[in-house]
Amino acid sequence: MTFTPHGRHLIAGDWVGGEEFFENEPAFGPAHRFSMGTVDLVERAAEAAEEAFWSYGYASRKDRAAFLTAIADGIEARGADITAIGCQETGLPEARLNGERARTTGQLRLFAETIRKGDYLDRRHDPALPDRKPLPRPDLRLMQRPIGPVAVFGASNFPL
């Protein structure tokens, strides 16, 4: 493995950490130290996500799809290290973790394609019926739009 976890949190492009640490208990290999998450770090991450929304949320579909594809490419480029760390931490076999990694990158690419096509917008249009009785129907339009960041809490034992 060429990468050693450094145990910090990436918030707004900066690697940060609190003052308290814990060590993991890997299935094999050396333990690594990780910075404990704090209320302050969570607040900073939420504020950074809100700030990022103003650029990412209004980026073109092409740019958002490219962003997700770049994440998938980055995961694939670091695949061997990610799998090695996952095996060490979970004790799961390499083949299982390779499958999990492929599923993750496949989902990212699927989401990127969904964004490119605009399928997620779920556009609907019911044209006006001005002559409808007893009352006319107005022109009705629906489209899903991003409204801001979400917090996702993943299982701590899920490799990706």
Q: Could you tell me how many residues make up the chain?
A: 160
Distances (CA, A) of 152 to 42, 52, 59: 12, 16, 21
Structure confidence at residue 72 (pLDDT): 97
Mean pLDDT, consecutive 10-residue stretches, the chain (160 aa), reads 83 92 90 91 94 91 97 96 90 94 95 94 95 96 88 66
C-beta neighbour count of 110 within 10 angstroms:
12
Structure confidence at residue 146 (pLDDT): 82
Distances (CA, A) of 83 to 7, 89, 152, 155: 17, 10, 22, 17
Structure confidence at residue 156 (pLDDT): 62
Structure confidence at residue 57 (pLDDT): 86
Residue 76: HSE in the Cβ half-sphere, 13 Å Cα cutoff = 13
Ordered by where they begin, the domains of the chain are: 9-123+138-142 (3.40.605.10)
3-class DSSP state of 12? coil
Structure confidence at residue 152 (pLDDT): 78
Structure confidence at residue 35 (pLDDT): 92
Structure confidence at residue 160 (pLDDT): 60
